[in-house]
Structure 1
Amino acid sequence: MSEYGFWSLLPPLAAIGLALRTKQVFLSLTLGIWIGWVIINGGNILSGSFDTLNAFVAVFEDAGNTRTVIFTLFIGALIALIQRSGGVAGFISLVKTKLESQEANNKNRNNRRLVQLFASLTGIVIFVESNISILTVGTLYRPIFDNLKISREKLAYLADSSSAPSCIIFPFNAWGAYIMGLLVMQGFDKPFATMMSALPYNFYPFLALGIVAYIIYTGKDFGPMKKAEQRAVEEGKLIADGAIPMISDEVSMLEAKPGIAHRSINMILPIVTMIIMMPMMLVYTGWSSLDTTDGSFIDLAFQAMGQGSGSTSVLTSVATALVVAIGLYKVQGLLGIKEMVDLSLKGMSGMVSLAILMVFAFALGSLCKELKTGLYVAEISKAWLSPNLVPAIVFLVSCFIAFSTGTSWGTFAIMISIAVPMAQSMGTDPHLAIAAAIGGGVFGDHCSPISDTTIISSMASASDHVDHVNTQLPYALTAGGVTLLMYLALGFLM
């Protein structure tokens, strides 16, 4: 158990509370990290302050963290090139053409419903990486949502709620590779089969997407989202009075270059390249660790994905997409090399604030690991558990850890290592416990205002961050509440 006990909870709780109170994410994360290092130094404010600065530097000692930050900057470059090449404009033209073809009884309502459906489907289809999915949905659909007077909060919700759930449901990505790696550590010799066997019990992502579909189809929003949508429709205000968008329109959006044709292929091809490259790179980076003399190619490929480097695969996939985009635009004569370099730098600059926020989030995650925040929560919960309650309690504890730390992946690492042996020793189906740990991690991360995906959703949609959290929370809590009831029922039935 953590030697810091209850004090290990104070840094993430302080960051969360301050973020909700002040809407200043940078300040909130900084204060949370500073409090944690002061605690580690026994209350010495001076030493804690020096260690806080060193904690930010230490983020880059981890190659995976560095790759993620670089990948974020590359995403900014790719988005800028896609926008300037007319790819985004071409895609938007396709969407508008589809909307116009649907004009019938209630034009405005049908258009609003259809464009929200397209946005959600886009987020689901780009299951290769949650951040790519969010950034794509937010960037591409914001102009269309603005034209139809759909609130920025709704766009942020749709981007957020279609990203991580789809990454879990379709685990041919870094998420799946990471989870399979954790399962291998727990002694499962067929991690892919184990993960897929647990998937039907992972209720939260399915329910989250189900609520998205229900809200889009019926138009029956509830909670703060209902007020946001009424404000957008009746007053034409896309954000609330006094709200502060996480990123400005000028930084995040670029007009297509004047005088060029708008072709959707200029957006689709680079994105498809990313999607194809991701599983290929997972296999490539994990292949050298396998005994290739045993098993079929398909089995070895799945095993390699479990051993592959997610951060390397993501970075390589985005870099390859950048190369494809540059070559495509050069061949068409749309953009010159110097122009594309300048655009790439401009796109990267628009992502600097996001990259900095990710550094802050990584620093907070490392701090929580040092304090053993997740382990403390998990250990004290063991006293409650009985075989029938294992799935529900694992889900609840995973929710709280992910909400407090802002990371689903860190929660997976903590809870799978505890839930699996606990379920096996208490006679509970381990697949159910695995699903509860993963679902709880996604749910808690989905609700947390310090989660990187929640932050990115606000930035990609140019929404006020706290408004995004407040409007999304009732939908997430609804799916989470139903999930908890289902785990309670299955705990007594299985």
Structure 2
Amino acid sequence: MIWLSLIPAVIAILFTFKTKKLIISLFIGVLVGSFIKNGFIDGLTSLGEYMMGAVASKDSAYTLSFLVAFGSLADLIEMAGGIAGFSDKVSKWAKNEKSVLRWAWLLSAITFFDGSFHMIAVGTVLSPILKKVKGSKEKFAFVLSVTSLQLIIIIPIATAYLGYMVTLVTNNIKLHGIEQSAYSLVVKSVFFNFYSWVMLLIALAVTLFGLGFGKYRMGKATKPHEEFTKAHMEREALLSKDLEEYPKNSKNLIIPVAVLLTSTIFFFWWTGRENATGFFNALENADFSRSIFSGIMLTLLFTTIFFLFQKISLAEIETHIVMGGEKLLSLVIILILSWALTAVTQELGFNELISEDLVKSIPRYLIPSILFVISGLIAYSIGSSWATWALMMPLAINFAANSGVSLPLMIGTVWAGGAVAEVIAPLAAEMTDISYGDHLTTSFPYFVGGIVITTLCYVIVGFFI
């Protein structure tokens, strides 16, 4: 009855595709899996065990804590005028649409450690400038989406994704007795994330040459009032309204970011130095979850002291630390539920489902492309790269173990498939002041083109594995 292991994930995907509500859909998937495994009453009582088990491991707790702390840091920076101050600096050099888009790329150098922060910071900095030069909001939303996850996921150091990626690989290779360094596998797999590389090239071409962006649309834009009341939309507008509490100061963005980057690298070296012969070898042997958490906590402490010297009250700082952490609560819930869904599907026999005979029945050269397409469909349906990675990584590791296909290649296809969810990001539409429907319909032709090109790349690579 191991085929029953597919039911929780399929139900979660179908509910998400129908409702577009990821948290509710993942919860239903976990609940159904718990019922199948334990019956009705025991299923209800064991539901909490799956969810608590998802956060019980030290690595998972570190990852979730880092995300909350990062939300706090981002809110502190915005409160202290760091983003607004940097916007004033940039406006002196950005004189037309093309230069605004180029700045979206350049600003990745100081916002690369988290996709949401990149979209919020860069969108806040450049949107007023884009409006002034009468540039295309749809084009900016596309470039903003691509320069978030697609760019950040291929940077294997000091990012919000890195701890989660390493933890995910670590947990799955342990099940197969693979003793390779999880970080080393993640670094190697970056080169096989063809989708992110392809989308970055497309976005770069849009930035430099336009590529006729906006002339071709796929689909019909939906309007927010179809799902929400007028009162709800008015409340959201008030919550998202920019408030300048303190004078604009670009140093309040640049200095905390510099501290975060240097401190994280330092802790990578510190936690790995005892088992290493040099600096780069220490990075490879680092305790990554502990390092990124230590880096963000040191940065929060430094930023607090730095802002206190600027006469920002401790009460104000504490309030924004709490507010910033709350903003990422939905992502924390998504991760917990996606990990719980992975746990219940594995208990139902998902790993045994991918038997050696089944794997050998698939032409070897098609395995990477098939895995990418399946991952991409799931990612687009549920709208979450994090959840897709959690669902598909056990499948990828099983395929690699049973087929002999390169482990970094299979891991890379999962990153690529999950990244499909983030090309058309609702947050990018919000930050550029367009509807999600307009962002979707204008970006979709390039989104589909990237999938086609990537699939062909994996088929070609399949002949050489």
TM-score range, shorter chain: 0.7 to 0.9
- Deviation at 1:392? 3.2
Give the conservation status (yes or no) of the 8 Å contact 2:141–2:429.
yes
SS at match of 2:107: helix
User: Is 1:441 aligned to 2:414, yes or no?
Assistant: yes
SS of the residue corresponding to residue 24 of structure 2 reads: helix
Contact 2:334 2:387 in 1 (8 A): no
Give, in whole Å, the separation in 2 of the partners of 1:381 and 1:302. Answer: 38
Corresponding residue pairs, total: 445
TM-score (norm 2): 0.78
Unaligned runs of 5+ in 1: 103-109, 232-238, 425-429
Distance 2:181 2:53 in 1: 34
For the pair 1:271 / 2:250, whether they are aligned, the reply is no
Contact kept, 8 Å, 1:134 with 1:163, in 2: the verdict is yes
SS at match of 2:156: coil
Deviations 1:439-480 (A, max 9, x none): 32123212359x9x9688789889988987787665444223
CA contact 1:138–1:155 (8 Å) conserved in 2: no
* Cα offset, 1:87, TM superposition: 0.6
Q: Name 1:329's counterpart in structure 2.
A: 307
CA distance in 1: counterparts of 2:26 and 2:446, whole angstroms: 25
The higher relative CO (CA closer than 8 Å, separation ≥ 6) is in: 2
Of 219, 226, 241, which aligns to 1:242? 226
Matching residue of 2:456? 485
- 1:66-465 paired onto structure 2 within 5 Å: 66-99=61-94, 102=95, 110-111=96-97, 113-123=98-108, 126-128=111-113, 132-142=114-124, 144-145=126-127, 148=131, 158-173=143-158, 174=162, 186=178, 192=184, 200-217=191-208, 218=210, 220-221=213-214, 241-242=225-226, 248-251=236-239, 254-258=242-246, 260=247, 262-288=248-274, 290=275, 292=276, 296-305=277-286, 308-310=287-289, 312-333=290-311, 335-373=312-350, 376=353, 382-396=359-373, 399=376, 406-408=387-389, 411-412=392-393, 414-416=395-397, 418-419=399-400, 422-423=403-404, 430=406, 434-435=408-409, 437-448=410-421
Q: Is the CA contact 1:91–1:263 (under 8 Å) kept in the aligned structure 2?
A: yes
Question: For the structure 1 residues 143 and 396, does the alpha-carbon distance in structure 2 shift closer, same or farther, using more than 3 Å as the test?
Answer: same
For the 8 Å contact 2:351–2:394, the answer to whether it is kept is no
Task: Check 1:11–1:180 CA distance in 2 against 1; reply closer, same or farther (3 A cut).
Answer: closer
- For 1:62 and 1:190, locate their aligned partners in 2 and report how far apart those are by CA, in whole Å: 16
The alpha-carbon distance between structure 1 residues 322 and 397, as it changes in their structure 2 partners (threshold 3 A), is same
Change (3 A) 1:203 1:466: same
The offset of 1:401, in angstroms, is 7.1
Whole-Å separation in 2 of the counterparts to 1:455 and 1:365: 26
CA deviation after TM superposition for structure 1 residue 89, in Å: 0.9
Q: Work out the percentage of aligned pairs sharing the same amino acid.
A: 21
Q: What RMSD over aligned residues (CA atoms) do the two structures have, in Å?
A: 4.2
The alpha-carbon distance between structure 1 residues 68 and 171, as it changes in their structure 2 partners (threshold 3 A), is closer
Aligned-pair CA distance for 1:157: 5.0
2:338, 2:391 within 8 Å by CA — same for their partners in 1?
Answer: no
**Cα 1:397–1:376 shift into 2, 3 Å:** farther
Structure 1, 60-69 or 395-404: larger mean CA deviation: 395-404
Q: Partner letter of residue 72 of structure 1?
A: L
Aligned-pair CA distance for 1:299: 4.7
TM-score (norm 1): 0.74
Q: Aligned partners of 2:46, 2:428: CA distance in 1, in Å?
A: 30
After TM superposition, the structure 1 stretch with the greater mean CA deviation from structure 2, 482-491 or 118-127, is: 118-127
* Secondary structure of 2:285's aligned partner: helix
Distance 2:41 2:430 in 1: 34
Shift of 1:72: 2.6
* Structure 1 position 243, deviation (Å): 6.1
1:84-117: CA deviations, max 9, x gaps? 2111110111232222xx2xxxxxxx33x43344
Distance in 1 separating the partners of 2:56 and 2:430: 26
Q: CA separation in 2, counterparts of 1:87 and 1:304?
A: 35
> Structure 1 residues 196 and 357, CA, compared in 2 at 3 Å: closer, same or farther?
closer
Residue 22 of structure 2 corresponds to residue 22 of structure 1: no
CA-CA distance at 1:123 after TM superposition: 4.2
Structure 1 residue identity aligned to 2:408? I
User: Shift in Å at residue 209 of structure 1?
Assistant: 0.8
1:37 shift after superposition? 1.3
Q: CA separation of 1:226/1:410 partners in 2, compared to 1, >3 Å: closer, same or farther?
A: closer
Structure 2: unaligned runs, 5 residues or longer: none
Moved more, 349-358 or 437-446: 349-358
